[in-house]
């Protein structure tokens, strides 16, 4: 019986080689002699995609036949990272493909480098969405990720003269082999115009919306395969286009340019990702993006409901819709509108379905990041939604009155409309009222939501609140990014941990095994060596591989306090200048991260770090004891290179500001020790790894509030702390700015006279803790032991655990295993 492997599905080295050459020829239209690296990358991507398609279609068929309950994860951002390597890991063919391409004279790492990652997110929130999609596929949970296919994702960051410069991210310029456009499933979204009341044939009051503009949304689907399962779920991203029929009038009247203009205006909608992750500025285009992708997605779900012969009254049984922050919170009003205006449903039933379908995740404690839309702008773009929101608000405030009689201040605070000055729609309130679940992303964050940011809503609906501590996928952030550590771990405890991260616990049995400890240490050392080479090439800086690799990689924000880290660097520098022979533990300070283009202070902090680097790295007194490296253009691809090389992970936000953090988890999972405040998920990480294996410092969230309430005076700290004063004076003197004493003045003034994020209050505790870190690092066996215990005890922070908890507590959904049909 002859077995022939299909060139589109076979997984043997021979078959992969054949398929690869076939795709090079028939898809790229090239042969080896003239093929570029990109041609090879594309040929390999199509070879892998073919293997995904079989699983993807199988999955779709089974979900359709069974009308499976499905999670819709609505997110304005998905920071997926490169697909190729991840798909190789999840298909379980990394080694076979490596061999296949090497037999053709190519290097797999080289081809992986070619991929332009889809940077369709800013940071934590977008990356969390991507980890969750990986875990849902791995746990065989039917799910759809819905978002926007931005033509330009997060900008590329260049550094010129120490300053951040933004460059447009043209991630689609070579095409995207991972997506399939589905123009036949396009959906139309209305914007602007006005509403008219009328009485329908049954004598009921109805509203008709006459829009000013209609936009067409075209879905682009990407398959997302689970780890060693046959489940391939879908990421469905919408592109905005002009509807072909809408501009016919202009076209026919000979107004060709007018018609093309219309097309350009429409396409603007999905043109670019907003690069802010801090302040909500009330931009019309951003609100248009939100309604665009939310309406497309909800209409798509309704189409699926009808397609599977599920009555619309059971929408909430077929779908549960998770709102990733308030960016998709307009879904509350849009689902009401679709059910009532478009599908003839009554208010009460529509409201019940809406609440049962929607669930809301909050990701921020920064008051300035809570989204609000000026009523005027909102009503202009979404006149019907504003009416619906007013009506929801009326019913809601009646409910509040019933529960809390004679409390008009509470009504004012809780209203969906902020009427304290210019009127605004409060999106977090809309999300809370319209959802059956409200969750924070770490235990402390959820507690602070309940006590502070959403206190009134907690008192109104305590049963809606729950915590879901974030997690990260071990597939991308260990198996793919750290193969050496992966192999060492699996050689000791097998490979079950990849799907069952709690199994890392079994590593504890080896913590006293000197052979294992020495392997652990030499792996970290080898990875650091790779980063040394990269830094030499990228930054031209020679780094001591035996120094502590002290890394802070995350968006630049004052609350994250990269400048506190900078104050520590200058403290060490000052000690060396005062005593050139001082015995200090060598350190390499590595920074990575982007600042929002309009965030002046964050950009000035980047400039400060680069300026410190220029001086410190070239001062002969320093020798090779301190180096400061800013790695430009931090991205998922880049993060995968950085986490494995870290000795020390900086998680130093002011307590009470970082909702969770997820970088903290990725570092610790790769054997870095954490220096951190009791903020976000740091609290839980410390709990898990043990306080003796975690470097904690600084004020706690309640201490922060108390200090601020007492009246915080940063100048007092400056005057009473000799080292702190010397650090500030050193910057002020122009030492890092070629004598320019004005350059960093705005930053210094903000610290000396406001210091909103309490750097001065935490300075001494931070320095003391860092001195302790330096001391511990000198005992290399102790450090290695701590590193092993960190990894062994990080099992809780798999996104598989998070998703499992969402399934149980919020989504009420079970797995649907997929068999691979012949
Ligand atoms: C209004 C503009 C805007 C855009 C994005 C406001 C806020 C955001 C995000 C919510 C910012 C964000 O990424 N938050 C991060 O979410 C992570 C995932 O839950 C957490 O780990 C981080 O602590 C949180 O800062």
Rounded to the nearest angstrom, the distance between the alpha carbon of 92 and the centre of ligand 1 is: 33
* pLDDT value of residue 612: 98
Backbone angles phi, psi at 152, to 5 degrees: -115, 120
Relative to the CA of 126, which ligand 1 atom is closest? 13
- Supply the mean pLDDT for the chain: 96
Residue with tokens 């907003």: 274
**627 forms bridges with which residues in the sheet?**
588
Mean pLDDT value across residues 811-815: 98
* pLDDT value of residue 820: 82
- Integer Cα distance of 283 and 719 in angstroms: 43
Rounded to the nearest angstrom, the distance between the alpha carbon of 453 and the centre of ligand 1 is: 15
**Contacts with 235 (C-beta within 8 Å, 6 or more apart), sequence order:** 78, 80, 133, 144, 145, 147, 221, 222, 224
Active site residue 587: no
Work out whether strand 548-553 and strand 465-467 pair parallel, antiparallel, or are unpaired. unpaired
Rounded to the nearest angstrom, the distance between the alpha carbon of 325 and the centre of ligand 1 is: 8
Domain boundaries, the chain: 1-66+83-116, 70-81+122-243+258-369+437-470+805-811, 474-797
Rounded to the nearest angstrom, the distance between the alpha carbon of 133 and the centre of ligand 1 is: 17
Which strands form 417-418's sheet, in the order they lie side by side? Answer: 372-374, 424-426, 417-418
CA 625 vs CA 340, 549, 588, 716: distances in Å: 68, 12, 8, 32
pLDDT(794) > 60: yes
DSSP code per residue over 185-239: G-EEEEESSEEEEEE-TTS-EEEEEE-SEEEEEEEEEEEEEPTTSS-EEEEEEEE
* pLDDT value of residue 280: 75
Active site residue 149: no
pLDDT tens-digit readout, 4-26: 688 899 999 999 999 999 999 99
Mean pLDDT value across residues 399-408: 98
* pLDDT value of residue 516: 98
> What 3 state SS string does 46-60 have?
HHHHHHHHHHHHHHH
Q: Which two tokens stand for residue 749?
A: 């003034």
Residue with tokens 């409901």: 305
pLDDT(247) > 70: no
- Range 438-450 burial, b when 16+ CB lie within 10 A, else e: bbbbbbbbbebbb
**Contacts with 614 (C-beta within 8 Å, 6 or more apart), sequence order:** 162, 736
Res. 265 pLDDT band, cuts 50 70 90: confident
Mean pLDDT value across residues 779-803: 98
Mutate to test the pocket of ligand 1, among 121, 125, 677 (most ligand atoms within 8 A of CB): 125
pLDDT(254) > 80: no
Q: Predicted ipTM?
A: 0.95
Rounded to the nearest angstrom, the distance between the alpha carbon of 148 and the centre of ligand 1 is: 17
Q: Which two tokens stand for residue 25?
A: 């020829």
User: For residues 410 and 400, is the Cβ–Cβ distance under 8 A?
Assistant: yes
Mean pLDDT value across residues 359-364: 98
Pairwise pLDDT comparison (272 vs 256), residue with the higher score:
272
CA 63 vs CA 353, 471, 745, 783: distances in Å: 22, 26, 60, 49
pLDDT(327) > 60: yes
**Contacts with 390 (C-beta within 8 Å, 6 or more apart), sequence order:** 417
Q: Residue with the nearest Cα to atom 7 of ligand 1?
A: 277
Res. 250 pLDDT band, cuts 50 70 90: low
**Percentage of the chain surpassing pLDDT 70?**
98
Relative to the CA of 445, which ligand 1 atom is closest? 23
* pLDDT value of residue 259: 73
Active site residue 363: yes
Q: Which two tokens stand for residue 465?
A: 């609140």
Fold of 70-81+122-243+258-369+437-470+805-811: Rossmann fold (3.40.50)
User: For residues 284 and 381, is the Cβ–Cβ distance under 8 A?
Assistant: yes
pLDDT tens-digit readout, 46-64: 999 999 999 999 999 999 9
pLDDT(600) > 50: yes
pLDDT(670) > 90: yes
Taking the model in full, what pTM does it have? 0.97
Active site residue 555: yes
pLDDT tens-digit readout, 276-318: 977 778 799 999 999 999 999 999 999 999 999 999 999 999 9
Cα dihedral 561→671→111→235 (10° resolution): -70
Active site residue 560: yes
DSSP code per residue over 301-328: HHHHHHHTT--GGGHHHHEEEEEESSTT
**How far, in whole angstroms, is CA 18 from its chain's centroid?**
37
pLDDT(485) > 60: yes
Work out whether strand 187-191 and strand 213-225 pair parallel, antiparallel, or are unpaired. antiparallel
- Integer Cα distance of 811 and 505 in angstroms: 29
**164 forms bridges with which residues in the sheet?**
159
- Integer Cα distance of 486 and 480 in angstroms: 9
Mutate to test the pocket of ligand 1, among 77, 277, 368 (most ligand atoms within 8 A of CB): 277
SS3 label, residue 92: coil
SS3 label, residue 698: coil
pLDDT tens-digit readout, 442-458: 999 999 999 999 999 99
pLDDT(252) > 70: no
| Marked catalytic residue, from 59, 473, 571, 662 | 662
* pLDDT value of residue 822: 47
Rounded to the nearest angstrom, the distance between the alpha carbon of 387 and the centre of ligand 1 is: 29
**How far, in whole angstroms, is CA 580 from its chain's centroid?**
43
Question: Of the candidates 456, 449, 433, 209, which has an alpha carbon nearest to the alpha carbon of residue 329?
Answer: 433
| Marked catalytic residue, from 83, 372, 475, 554 | 554
| Domain pair 70-81+122-243+258-369+437-470+805-811 / 474-797, same fold | yes
Mutate to test the pocket of ligand 1, among 119, 282, 364 (most ligand atoms within 8 A of CB): 364
Sign of the CA dihedral running 354, 404, 326, 286 = positive
Active site residue 662: yes
pLDDT(766) > 90: yes
Mean pLDDT value across residues 708-716: 98
DSSP code per residue over 231-289: -EEEEEEEEEE--TTTTHHHHHTT-HHHHHHHHHHHHGGGTB----SS-----HHHHHH
Q: Rounded to a whole number, what is the distance in angstroms from the first to the last CA of the chain?
A: 17
Question: Of the candidates 53, 370, 5, which has an alpha carbon nearest to the alpha carbon of residue 221?
Answer: 53
pLDDT(627) > 50: yes
CATH dotted code for 474-797: 3.40.50.2000
**How far, in whole angstroms, is CA 697 from its chain's centroid?**
26
| Marked catalytic residue, from 316, 384, 560, 632 | 560
173 burial class (0-12, 13-18, 19+ CB within 10 angstroms)? exposed
User: For residues 518 and 564, is the Cβ–Cβ distance under 8 A?
Assistant: no
Mean pLDDT value across residues 452-480: 98
pLDDT(473) > 80: yes
DSSP code per residue over 107-151: -HHHHHHH----EES-SHHHHHHHHHHHHHHHTT--EEEEEE--S
- Ligand 1 binding site (Cβ under 6 Å of any ligand atom): 122-125, 128, 276-277, 280, 325, 363-364, 369, 371, 441, 470, 658-662, 680
């Amino acid at each position: 019986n002859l077995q022939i492997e299909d060139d589109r599905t076979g997984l043997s080295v021979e078959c992969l080689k054949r398929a690869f050459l076939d795709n090079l020829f028939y898809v790229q239209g090239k042969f080896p002699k003239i093929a570029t690296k990109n041609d090879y990358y594309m040929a390999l991507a199509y070879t892998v995609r073919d293997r995904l398609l079989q699983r993807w279609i199988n999955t779709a068929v089974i979900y359709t036949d069974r009308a499976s309950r499905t999670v819709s994860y609505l997110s304005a951002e998905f920071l997926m990272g490169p697909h190729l390597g991840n798909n190789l890991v999840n298909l379980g063919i990394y080694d076979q493909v490596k061999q296949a391409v090497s037999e053709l004279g190519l290097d797999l790492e080289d081809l992986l480098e070619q991929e332009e990652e889809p940077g369709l997110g800013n940071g934590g929130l977008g990356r969390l969405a991507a980890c969750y999609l990986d875990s849902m596929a791995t746990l065989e949970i039917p799910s759809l990720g819905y978002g926007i296919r931005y033509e330009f994702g997060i900008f590329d960051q260049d550094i010129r003269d120490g300053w951040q410069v933004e460059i447009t991210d043209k991630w689609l310029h070579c095409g995207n082999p991972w997506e399939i456009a589905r123009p036949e499933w396009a959906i139309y979204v209305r914007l602007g115009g006005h509403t008219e009341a009328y009485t329908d044939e049954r004598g009921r009051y109805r509203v008709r919306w006459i829009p000013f503009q209609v936009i067409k949304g075209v879905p682009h689907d990407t398959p997302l395969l689970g780890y060693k399962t046959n489940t391939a779920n879908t990421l469905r991203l919408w592109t905005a286009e002009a509807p072909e029929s809408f501009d016919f009038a202009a076209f026919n009247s000979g107004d060709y340019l007018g018609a093309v203009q219309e097309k350009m205006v429409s396409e603007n909608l999905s043109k670019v990702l907003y690069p802010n992750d801090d302040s909500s500025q009330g931009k019309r285009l951003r609100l248009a993006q939100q309604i665009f992708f939310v309406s497309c997605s909800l209409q798509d779900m309704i189409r699926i409901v009808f397609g599977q012969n599920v009555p619309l009254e059971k929408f909430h049984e077929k779908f549960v819709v998770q709102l990733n922050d308030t960016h998709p919170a307009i879904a509350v009003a849009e689902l009401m509108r679709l059910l009532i205006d478009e599908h003839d449903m009554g208010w009460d039933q529509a409201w019940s379905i809406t609440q049962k379908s929607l669930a809301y995740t909050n990701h921020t404690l920064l008051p300035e990041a809570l989204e609000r839309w000026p009523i005027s702008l909102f009503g202009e773009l979404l006149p019907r939604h504003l009416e619906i929101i007013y009506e929801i608000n009326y019913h809601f405030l009646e409910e509040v009155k019933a529960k809390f009689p004679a409390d008009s201040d509470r009504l004012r605070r809780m209203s969906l409309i902020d009427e304290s000055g210019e009127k605004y729609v409060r999106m977090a309130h809309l999300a809370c009222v319209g959802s059956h679940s409200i969750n924070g992303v770490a235990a402390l964050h959820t507690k602070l939501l309940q006590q502070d940011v959403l206190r009134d809503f907690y008192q109104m609906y305590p049963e809606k609140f729950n915590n879901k501590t974030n997690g990260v996928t071990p597939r991308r952030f260990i198996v793919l990014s750290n193969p050496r550590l992966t192999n060492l771990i699996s050689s000791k405890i097998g490979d079950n941990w990849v799907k069952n991260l709690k199994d890392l616990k079994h590593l504890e049995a080896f913590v006293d095994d000197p052979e294992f400890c020495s392997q652990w240490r030499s792996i970290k050392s080898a990875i650091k060596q790779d980063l040394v080479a990269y830094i030499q090439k990228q930054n031209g800086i020679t780094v001591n591989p035996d120094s502590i690799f002290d890394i802070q990689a995350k968006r630049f924000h004052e609350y994250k306090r990269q400048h506190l880290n900078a104050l520590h660097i200058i403290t060490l520098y000052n000690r060396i200048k005062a005593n050139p022979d001082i015995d200090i533990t060598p350190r390499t300070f590595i920074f990575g991260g982007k600042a929002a283009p309009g965030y002046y202070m964050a950009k000035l902090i980047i400039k400060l770090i680069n300026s410190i680097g220029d001086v410190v790295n070239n001062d002969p007194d320093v020798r090779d004891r301190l180096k400061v490296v800013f790695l430009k253009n931090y991205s998922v691809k880049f993060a995968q290179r950085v986490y494995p090389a870290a000795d020390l992970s900086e998680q130093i936000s002011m307590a009470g500001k970082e909702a969770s953090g997820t970088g903290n988890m990725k570092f610790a999972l790769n054997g870095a020790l954490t220096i951190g405040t009791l903020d976000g998920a740091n609290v839980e990480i410390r709990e898990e790894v043990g306080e003796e294996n975690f470097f904690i410092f600084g004020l706690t969230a309640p201490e922060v509030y108390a200090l601020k309430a007492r009246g915080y005076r940063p100048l007092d700290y400056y005057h009473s702390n000799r080292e702190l004063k010397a650090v500030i004076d050193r910057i002020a003197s122009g030492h890092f700015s070629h004598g320019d004493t004005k350059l960093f003045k705005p930053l210094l003034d903000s610290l000396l006279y406001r210091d909103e994020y309490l750097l001065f209050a935490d300075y001494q505790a931070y320095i003391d803790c860092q001195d302790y870190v330096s001391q511990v690092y000198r005992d290399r066996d102790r450090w290695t032991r701590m590193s092993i215990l960190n990894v062994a005890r990080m099992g809780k922070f798999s996104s598989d655990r998070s998703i499992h908890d969402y399934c149980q507590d919020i989504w009420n959904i079970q797995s649907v295993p997929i068999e691979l049909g012949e």
